[in-house]
Structures are given as structure tokens and as C-alpha cells.
Amino acid sequence: MSFRFFGPEHGNRVASFAGVPGDYTTYYAGASSGGLWKSSDGGNRWRPIFEEKGAAAIGTIAVAPSSANIVWIGTGEPWAIRDIDIGGNGVYKSTDGGSNFRHMGLTETGRIARIIVNPEDSQTVFVCAEGRLTGPQEQRGVFVTHDGGKSWTRSLFVDPNTGCSGLAMDAHDHNTLFAGTWQVVMHSWAELSGGPGSGVYVTHDGGKTWSHLVGHGLPHSPLGKIDIAVAPSDSNRVYALIETRNQGSVWRSDDGGANWRTISWDRTLIGRAGYYIRIAVSPGDENKVYIANSGFHVSTDGGKTWPEKRWGGDNHDIWMDPKDSDHFAITYDGGFGITTTDGKGWHDVVLPVGQMYHVAVDDQIPYDVYSNMQDDNTMRGPSVALRGGPWGIGENQGWDYEMGGCESGFTLPDVTDTNIVWASCYADEVTRWDAKTHEARSVSPWLHTLDSAPDQTKYRCHWTAPLAIDPFDHNVVYFGCQVVFKTANGGQSWSVISPDLSTQDPRYIVSSGGLIGDNLGQFYGEVVFALAPSTIRKGLLWAGTNDGKVWYTPDGGSHWVDVSRNIGMKPMGTVTSIQPSSNRARPMRPSIIIWKMIAILISTRRRTSERRGFRSRATCPGANSPMSAMSRRIPIAKASCSRAREKRSTIRLTTGAIGPS
């Protein structure tokens, strides 16, 4: 089987970035699940350079200060937001500027947050590994190699429940490093951040020994996720960004970490700390500090005040050029931006690395494809790409966007009229969009419950709650929470047609977040996660949960049959997809896909085997003209000049009846 890329020609989240110090042409960008990309012309054209490797999530990138040809990659996304995040398989190294990469071990580290290469000795490399997050493990913490990756030593290890979330090296004393450790566990039903394992550590002998910094002005346990930064211009100035519950957000030391004081209580600096938490200091000014969070904040007074900049949005990584304070880059949900003017002007780039939740097609010839993109919206586009425009290419020609719903959930065409599109979203949202008016109307079955803890709301509806249209009656639509809702009149009214189909275990119906609550639905447990009506038997509807249950109703919801034991479901297993049988002789033999640990399979739109370049359409002063790219049939990025390893076993059950035939 082969795949072809047909759109859309834009993407979303970029997790990591690195450039070559003092070089304004060479950059690397790592996608959350779309591999590693490189530009050699100042960010105008980009090409994928990591497609043949066994990891799609690039958590961190490090270019050796002593040799621009040495590039290290840490895999697995460190910005932990939901249990569908893509894990990694360790570290990779290139000695030829990214032309070739070799796997260098640390396979079980799961998510790597930071890599630091010793500026004087490229053979000495430190790796800050968060771990899988899904449970206790030994391979997490800080690792070091002194032979270029041939062998590794676990330098800092707190306990099996704690990994490394932040790492910084003193620019003037390369034996001095600070580390932030993070105790966290991620279940399908909750991410619990914080505990006694989180803390700030320092080494003055290159990682041979570490000291846990306690007291002296630092917040007391329990703490959550931590990042740390040492000012390149002043080794005595150290900053710590710490997730706490009502203890503050930013701490500062003016004596190399011996004593600390709280310099900010700004809650927005540590909002959704499991997802965000990144701090960096300007190379030329110890009082100029940058923090990436949902907003981007810059302090110019040593951390006392933090005005927000209109840069990015839902921000992640920060790369600073150690040779030029005006030259840096930030990554965010919509891509990344590069500046050479201290943020006065930006070169914004969006790569084709979108994360698509679900895919549907209609019955037109040629057919349209429907989906939801993470950090974007609902959309549909032609299966046969349309081309047009004066330069022989039209960006996303024939595509419709923002058809109700939102980034998560489903986008489904009406089975009789493709002008009508149903879509879902988190917070219990269901919409019905009409192409004739280009308007979406909310037809949600219940009150919107944004940021409600699952044990404090009547209906638990997941971030990507299932939506399905009955193939026998286009006015009948199903929506899943812990119960199944049904409308028979196109969303004018809804009724509950099932009991609670979960195990109803209160241990898994709890607030997520840990120290700071975070309940947007990504971790709702004990919910219906998959719905599938039969295409050959009217009234037959299948339902699967994220706690190990599979049900069907033969009569449109009047009666429900639990068949979980018949197919060997594991406790708390997640049913992500059910495909009812199309065999009229055996309608009760569905194909069921189960992910034991991870809830949703997010597709990554990688490049085709042609390995064609990807240009960003830039018109910045001094940038190359995009006309040569537009005259060729290659994608164009949206760019502008504005200011235990995650064990995701898939089980297909296609033999043996599990219900009455």
C-alpha cells in the first residue's frame, strides 16, 4: 500500500528548534509528530531529513557549538498535553549536518526535553529525559556520554516516578549544570503533575555528583514541572520556572544558586504547566528573560514584570543565538517564527505536519475528505487536488475550513446532502454546518462544560467525543459521553438512549492536572470513545469505551448488550475505532481497534517519497523571491513578515462472532 499527500498544505505544532550560532541561514525544526526539517537558506525552503527513522516526534535539537556538522536529536514530545502525544525511541546523532543520522541509544527514555553539547568537547553530551510518563521506569533523568554516544551513564536519577524536564549549563563553567526534575504520571484518565520528586539540582563536577537544592528561598515540596536557565552573561544569575500551587512562578538566584527569591507570582507564566514551561535568558543581558507559555512573556527587569508579547500562541520551545541576542526563534502550535531583530520583525513558517484526528469521506465522484486538525479546525478538501493560479499552483484550492466544530473531534458529511456537515468539539460541542450559507449552528445535546472536572459535571464528554450519522436516516445522529445521545430531527432535540456504558469506577473519574487542575477533557475517563452504526442492519449500533468495555444495541438503543468479555478486553483498554461488518451474512463480526495505552492515533502528514523541498512564502527584506518555488508544483508554507516505551499494541479482532448472528 502506498500513500500520497493531497493536503491541506499547512500544519500545526512544532516542538523544537535549533540554529547554528552566528549563522543566519541554517536552521532545524522538529515537529510534534512530523519529523525533522532543515533549511539552508534562512528559512525560505524546508526539507524533511528524518523520514526513514523510527521516530516522528522531535522533542529537542542541539547543534554542537564547536562543529556545526554535529547535530543531536532527542525524540518524543516533552510538551505533555494528552495521552495521545507521540513518544520517542531515544537519541540520534548526525556528523554531516543532518544528511545522515545514527541512533545512539537511550531507547526507553520516552520523551527527551533537552540536549546540551559541551562547547569545548563535542564528545561530551548531556540528555534530559522525562521518561514515558505512563508509569514508573528506570531510564529517565539526566544522562551523559563522554565518547560521542557510544556509551551512556545515568548521571542524575531521583526515583522511578521522576524525570528531567529542564537542563542548563553555565556558559563560563561547563562543569556546572542545573537541572529541573519532574514527578508526573500520565494515564488515559488523568495527568497528575507534581510530587516530592520534583526539584532543582546542581552539579559542579560535570554530572559526577548532584546536589538537591532545598530551602534558601526555593518553594517547598510538592512541586510540579520545572525549567531552569543560567544567564550566559553572568554565571551568578540563575532563573527557575516552577509549577507550584500558590507559591509563586519564577525564582531568581544572584549567587549561582546558593540563595533564591521569588520574583514573580504571575499565574500565566505557569498555566497548564504540564504542557508548557520554558524559560530562556538573553545572551547579552542577564535581566532580559523569555518565557513560553500559552502567551509569550518577556521581562527586561530581571523577572520583576512580565509583559506579554503578541508572538506565536500556545508556545513551546525557545532557541537563542549565543552570538547575537537579536537572533532567536520560538515554536508554537501554529508553526514557528525566526527573528533577527529582537522580535521587531518575524519570519513565520508553517510546515505540512498537521495532526489529523479522524478522517471521513463522502460519496461524490471525485470524493471529498473530511477531518479535524489539532490546533487548527474542521476542514474538507478534494481527493483530486485542484491546481490553479498564475503560477501553476493554488494553495489548498477547493478546501473548506471552519465548518463548525473545532480542532478535536469529528467532521462528517450528511449521507444525503454534502452541503450539510456535522462536527464535534471538546466541551460537549456538536454543530451542523450548511455550505450554502457557510454558517454553523450549535446543536449540542447538553450544556457546554469547558474546564469542568469530570466528577463535577453531569455528562462526561471527552476532548474527542465520538460522533456518528445513521446510514439509514440522515436526521439520526449519535454522540457519545458516558452515555449515548441520539437526535432524530437533525439536532433540534436529543435523548439519552443508553445507560452509563463505562465501568463507573470513581477511581478514574477524577480531576486531571495534579497540582494545578487542567480539565479540558483530554483525560476524561470512563467515557464512550467510539461509536459505529451498522451499514447493513438498521438499529444496530456499536459502542466502545476508554475503560475496557464494548457494547452493541440491536434496536436503536432500547436494549444494550455488553460483549467485552467475549473479545478479551483488558481493564482500562481504549477502543479507538469500530468498523461494523459489511458482510450481510455475518453482520455481528466487526473489526475493533484497541490501543492499550494511547487513546487516539494521530496521523502525521509526512512528505512523499519524492522528497521535494518545502518553501515558506517569505517576502522579508533580504529574503529570496518565492517565484521560483511558485512556478514549480511544490507545496508552499504559510510564511510572512510580521512582527515502560509507550506500548501501543493494536489488536484487530475480525474472526469469531461476538454477538448473535
Rounded Cα–Cα distance for residues 341 and 339 (Å): 6
Q: Is there a single domain that holds both residue 140 and residue 154? A: yes
DSSP string, 443-473: --SS---TT--GGGSSS---TT--EEE-TT-
Q: Cβ-count burial of 150 within 10 angstroms (0-12 exposed, 13-18 middle, 19+ buried)? A: exposed
Q: Is the dihedral of CA 593, 598, 601, 604 positive or negative?
A: negative
Tell me whether residue 646 is in a domain. no
CA distance 86 to 601: 9
Of 577, 556, 555, 587, residue with least CA distance to 657: 587
Same domain, 420 and 402: yes
449: Cβ contacts below 8 Å, ≥ 6 apart = 427, 428, 457, 459, 461
**Do 28 and 127 reside in the same domain of the chain?**
yes
Residue 638 CA to chain centroid, in angstroms?
20
pLDDT of 90 > 50? The answer is yes
In angstroms, the Cα distances linking 101 to 90, 112, 124, 134, 277 are 12, 17, 18, 28, 29
The yes-or-no verdict on residue 295 having pLDDT over 70 is yes
Domain range enclosing 231: 14-349
3-class SS shares of the chain: helix, strand, coil, % to 5: 5, 35, 60
Q: In terms of domains, do 364 and 391 share one?
A: yes
Q: What's the pLDDT score for residue 256?
A: 97
Whether the bond between 445 and the residue before it is cis, its omega within 30 degrees of 0, is no
Q: Give yes or no: residues 242 and 334 share one domain.
A: yes
**pLDDT score of 632:** 27
Cβ–Cβ < 8 Å for 99, 49: yes
DSSP 195: B
CA distances to 33, 99, 403, 534 from 370, rounded to whole Å, are: 20, 36, 10, 20
Give the integer Cα–Cα distance in Å for 515 and 243.
8
Q: Quick one: 417 and 463 in the same domain?
A: no
Span 101-111, mean pLDDT? 97
Does residue 551 contact residue 565 with C-beta atoms inside 8 Å?
no
Cβ–Cβ under 8 Å, residues 465 and 474: no
Backbone torsion region of residue 43, taken as left when φ is above 0, otherwise alpha when ψ lies between -120 and 50, otherwise beta: left
In a domain, 585, yes or no: yes
Is 181 part of a structural domain of the chain?
yes
What's the pLDDT at 598?
Answer: 30
How many residues belong to the chain?
661
Q: Are residues 225 and 275 in the same domain?
A: yes
On whether both 76 and 144 belong to a single domain, the answer is yes
Amino acid at 572: M
Neighbours of 499 (CB within 10 A): 12
Q: Which residues pair with 241 in a beta bridge?
A: 227, 250
Contacts of 243 (CB under 8 A, 6+ apart): 193, 194, 198, 223, 224, 225, 226, 270, 273, 274, 277, 515, 516
Same domain, 514 and 395: no
Q: Measure the CA–CA gap between 319 and 321, rounded to whole angstroms.
A: 7
In sequence order, what are the beta bridge partners of 468?
478
Q: What angle do CA 278, 281, 284 make, to 5 degrees?
A: 160
**pLDDT at residue 597, rounded to an integer:** 32
- Cell numbers for 435: 455550505
CA distance 396 to 418: 19
Q: How far, CA to CA in Å, does 598 sit from each of 133, 312, 314, 563, 647?
A: 12, 28, 23, 22, 8
Rounded to whole angstroms, how far apart are CA atoms 166 and 128? 7
> pLDDT grade, residue 568 (50/70/90)?
confident
pLDDT tens per residue, range 349-380: 999 999 999 999 999 999 999 999 999 999 99
Helix (H, G, I), strand (E, B), or coil: what is residue 231?
coil
Cell matching residue 347: 519570519
Q: Which residue has the cell 555528583?
A: 209
Q: Is the Cα torsion angle 18, 133, 244, 141 positive or negative in sign? A: negative
Query: Would residue 44 be called left, alpha or beta, if left means φ above 0 and alpha means ψ between -120 and 50 degrees?
Result: alpha
Picking from 121-130, 309-318, 548-557, 627-636, which range would have the lowest pLDDT averaged per residue? 627-636
pLDDT at 608: 29
Give the percent of the chain with pLDDT over 90: 78
Exposed, middle or buried: residue 457 (CB in 10 Å: 0-12, 13-18, 19+)?
middle
For residue 625, being part of any structural domain is answered with no
Write down the pLDDT at residue 595.
Answer: 54
The CB-side HSE value for 145 (13 A sphere, CA atoms) comes to 20
User: Quick one: cell of 338?
Assistant: 525566526
Q: Where is the domain boundary, 305, 322, 349?
A: 349
pTM summary value: 0.89
One domain, residues 43 and 132: yes
Cβ proximity of 450 and 429 under 8 Å = no
Over range 47-76, report the average pLDDT.
96
CB 533 within 8 A of CB 555: no
Dihedral of CA 199/204/210/216: which sign? negative
Q: Which of 205-214, 281-290, 358-367, 608-617 has the lowest mean pLDDT?
A: 608-617
Residue pair 350/373 in contact by the 8 Å Cβ criterion: no
Residue 210 has pLDDT above 60, yes or no: yes
What is the band of 40 on the pLDDT scale with cuts at 50, 70, 90? very high
> What is the predicted pLDDT for the residue at 163?
98
Nearest to 533 by CA among 480, 594, 478: 478
In a domain, 619, yes or no: no
CATH number where 135 lies: 2.130.10.10
Report pLDDT for 645.
Answer: 31
pLDDT at residue 599, as a whole number = 29
Decide which of 392, 421, 444 is a domain's last residue. Answer: 444
Partners of 227 in the beta sheet? 241
**For the chain, what is the mean pLDDT?**
88
Across the range 462-467, mean pLDDT stands at 96
Nearest-angstrom CA–CA distance, 72 and 69: 10
| Alpha-carbon span 112 to 470, nearest angstrom | 44
Distance CA 652, CA 650 (A): 7
Q: Is the pLDDT of residue 343 over 50?
A: yes
Alpha-carbon distance of 217 to 223, in angstroms, equals 14
pLDDT one-digit tens code per residue, 573-604: 999 999 998 877 776 666 666 654 332 222 33
Alpha carbon 72 to its chain centroid, in Å, reads 21
| Three-class SS state of 508 | helix
Classify residue 305: in a domain, yes or no: yes
Task: State the total domains in the chain.
Answer: 3
**What would the pLDDT profile of 309-325 be if each residue is shown by its tens digit?**
999 999 999 999 999 99
Distance CA 513, CA 186 (A): 10
Identify the pLDDT of residue 142. 98
Give the confidence band of 449 by pLDDT, cuts at 50, 70, 90: confident
- Please report how many Cα atoms fall inside a 13 Å half-sphere around the Cα of residue 306, on the Cβ side: 21
Q: How far is CA 610 from CA 51, 396, 475, 633, 634, in A?
A: 12, 20, 44, 12, 11
Confidence of residue 11 (pLDDT cuts 50, 70, 90): confident
Count of beta carbons in the 10 Å neighbourhood of residue 628: 11
Q: Say if residue 250 is in the same domain as residue 103.
A: yes
Among 328, 349, 370, the domain boundary falls at: 349
Residue 108 DSSP symbol: G
DSSP codes, 233-282: T-TT-EEEEE--SSS-SEEEESSTTSS-EEEE--GGGGTTTTT--EEEE-
pLDDT of residue 54: 86
Residue 648 predicted with pLDDT over 90: no
Pair (51, 193) in one structural domain: yes
Q: Measuring CA to CA, which residue among 116, 189, 157 is closest to residue 572?
A: 189
- pLDDT band at residue 158 using 50, 70 and 90 as cut-offs: very high
User: Do the beta carbons of residue 121 and residue 137 sit within 8 Å?
Assistant: no
**439-460 average pLDDT score:** 92
